[in-house]
């Protein structure tokens, strides 16, 4: 097959490499010349994706992966088009369709009869049928389900382990009609292989959801569930801290039976997925009171953590506070919707001076994000752990001059290494 993958980001590029590894000709289309140049050289434009460097180099060397900025020409020669461009939200939580609409217009200019178009970008329920199908039809005169095929199939992978997750989880598809669904099932069955999962209700593989709306909702439901679950865990953690109970022990006990799946509490929920997709779900459901409340609770966590730090430190006015971690989670060089911004803002509100360290970002990159970089050896009064980078596990009070109070918002520090300071851990008691 000839396949175009539109969007060579952290999901799109591994997906393109996966398809190319099967011997298919894959056009990797992206609007950023720097991304296309890096991929053409066999170099991932972002770090941290397991097996991507070697797989990408092989795909480029074999000429199975052909990066390009010309989406229209790529689509013109392709049997299948897979769209993995970003969808973000504005300050009100409404989806911003600019990237998806732009990609769709480019696809329309190159779309040929018989082509299968698949959207993997997470979308509000109804978008594939009521927004994207009409855009493609009005621009081309081709009818979805008759002249070309159209389906939604959400990406369900985790940055850092995309290739493993492609095999681990069922591929959900929802066509705008039966013929589109069948074409989508046939395509993914050829380009993906699946692990044996005897615990699943159905055989692991490509699952037909019956409609794009069902597939769109499945993606939003599974991610929104996590945001709501973490909000509940955070509520339990704050309560447990007040009454002197270790919430981690409680969660372990609860999850020892099959009806409880409590997640871990933490200082923030960030990234392109959970804080965004729960709002995309709420955008489409005016009755989503539970998810809205959970999102507000998680968004308030950094400020609540700084309240606890302020109390423990006897005030923050004039203090220097080191925030460990600009990334939204450990091991990933990505600060989208990271809790670092709200944490730094909460410190400034209490007249503290926030400094930020992250092993994955240079001081210049931190400055570009509006943060003040911490220089090794500087003296600070307080420390807040915002991201659970593995590099922080071996830190000790000796590494940070002057520190007296630490709040570990991720449970990553070794208490034995901080015995001479006041160490607080979200949801734990004692030192």
pLDDT in tens, 354-365: 999 999 999 999
Q: Where in the chain is the domain with CATH 3.40.50.720?
A: 2-210, 246-431
Instruction: Tell me what the pLDDT averaged over the chain comes to.
Output: 97
CB 413 within 8 A of CB 398: no
In this prediction, residues 38-45 reach a mean pLDDT of 97
According to CATH, the superfamily of the domain at 246-431 is NAD(P)-binding Rossmann-like Domain (3.40.50.720)
CA distance 20 to 80: 13
What confidence score (pLDDT) does residue 429 get? Answer: 76
**Residue of 135, 73, 132, 72 whose CA lies nearest to 107:** 72
Is the pLDDT at 430 greater than 90? The verdict is: no
- 170: helix, coil or strand? coil
Is the pLDDT at 140 greater than 80? The verdict is: yes
**Who contacts 154 (Cβ-Cβ below 8 Å, separation ≥6)?**
120, 122, 172, 215, 216, 218, 219
Q: Whole-prediction pTM value? A: 0.93
The pLDDT confidence band at residue 255, using thresholds 50, 70 and 90, is: very high
Given 219, 254, 304, 382, the catalytic residue: 219
What confidence score (pLDDT) does residue 59 get? Answer: 98
The structure tokens listed for 124 are 């509000």
In this prediction, residues 143-152 reach a mean pLDDT of 97
In this prediction, residues 116-136 reach a mean pLDDT of 98
Q: What is the pLDDT of residues 364-414, one digit of tens each?
A: 999 999 999 999 999 999 999 999 999 999 999 999 999 999 999 999 999
Is the pLDDT at 431 greater than 70? The verdict is: no
What confidence score (pLDDT) does residue 326 get? Answer: 98
Is the pLDDT at 153 greater than 80? The verdict is: yes
Q: What is the pLDDT of residues 43-52, one digit of tens each?
A: 999 988 999 9
Percent of the chain, pLDDT > 70? 100
What confidence score (pLDDT) does residue 428 get? Answer: 87
**Residue of 212, 202, 100, 200 whose CA lies nearest to 153:** 212
Q: Is 382 part of the annotated catalytic residue set?
A: no
DSSP conformation letters of 377-428 = T---SEEEE-S--GGGTT--GGGSTT--EEEESSS-S-GGGGTTSEEEETT-
CB 322 within 8 A of CB 383: yes
For 157-169, b/e burial (b = at least 16 CB within 10 A) is: bbbbebbebbeeb
Q: What is the pLDDT of residues 58-106, one digit of tens each?
A: 999 999 999 999 999 999 999 999 999 999 999 999 999 999 999 999 9
Given 273, 304, 382, 404, the catalytic residue: 273
Is the pLDDT at 121 greater than 80? The verdict is: yes
Q: What is the pLDDT of residues 172-210, one digit of tens each?
A: 999 999 999 999 999 999 999 999 999 999 999 999 999
**CATH assignment, 2-210:** 3.40.50.720
């Amino acid at each position: 097959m000839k396949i175009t993958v539109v969007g060579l980001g952290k999901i799109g590029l591994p997906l393109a490499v996966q398809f190319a590894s099967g011997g298919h000709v894959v056009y990797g289309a992206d609007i950023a010349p720097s991304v296309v140049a890096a991929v053409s050289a066999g170099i991932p434009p972002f770090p941290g994706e397991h097996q991507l460097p070697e797989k990408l180099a092989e795909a480029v060397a074999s000429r199975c992966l052909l990066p390009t900025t010309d989406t229209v020409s790529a689509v013109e020669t392709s049997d299948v088009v897979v769209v993995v461009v970003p969808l973000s939200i504005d300050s009100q939580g409404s989806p911003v369709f600019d990237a998806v609409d732009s990609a769709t217009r480019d696809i329309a200019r190159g779309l040929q009869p018989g082509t299968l178009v698949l959207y993997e970008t997470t979308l509000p329920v109804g978008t594939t049928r009521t927004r994207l199908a009409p855009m493609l039809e009005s621009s081309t005169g081709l009818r979805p389900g008759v002249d070309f095929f159209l389906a939604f199939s959400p990406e369900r992978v985790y940055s850092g382990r995309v290739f493993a997750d492609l095999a681990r989880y069922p591929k959900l598809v929802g066509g705008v009609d039966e013929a589109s669904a069948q074409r989508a099932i046939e395509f993914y069955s050829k380009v993906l292989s699946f692990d044996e999962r005897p615990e699943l209700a159905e055989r692991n593989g490509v699952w037909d959801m019956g409609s794009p709306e069902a597939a769109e909702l499945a993606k939003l439901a599974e991610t929104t569930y996590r945001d709501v679950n973490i909000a509940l865990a955070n509520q339990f953690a704050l309560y447990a801290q007040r009454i002197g109970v270790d919430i981690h022990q409680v969660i372990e006990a609860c999850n020892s039976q099959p009806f409880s799946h409590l997640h871990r509490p933490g200082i923030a929920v960030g990234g392109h997925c959970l804080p965004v997709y729960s709002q995309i779900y709420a955008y489409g459901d005016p009755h989503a009171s539970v998810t809205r409340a959970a999102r507000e609770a998680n968004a308030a966590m950094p400020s609540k953590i700084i309240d606890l730090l302020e109390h423990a430190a006897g005030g923050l006015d004039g203090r220097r506070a080191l925030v460990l971690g600009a990334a939204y989670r450990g091991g990933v060089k990505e600060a989208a919707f990271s809790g670092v911004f709200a944490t730094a803002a909460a410190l400034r509100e209490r007249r503290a001076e926030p400094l930020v360290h992250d092993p994955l970002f240079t001081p210049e990159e931190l400055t570009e994000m509006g943060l003040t970089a911490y220089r090794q050896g500087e003296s600070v009064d307080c420390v807040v752990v915002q991201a659970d980078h593995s590099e922080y596990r071996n830190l000790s009070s000796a590494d940070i001059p002057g520190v007296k109070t630490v709040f570990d918002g991720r449970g990553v520090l070794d208490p034995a290494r901080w015995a001479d300071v006041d160490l607080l851990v979200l949801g734990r008691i004692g030192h």
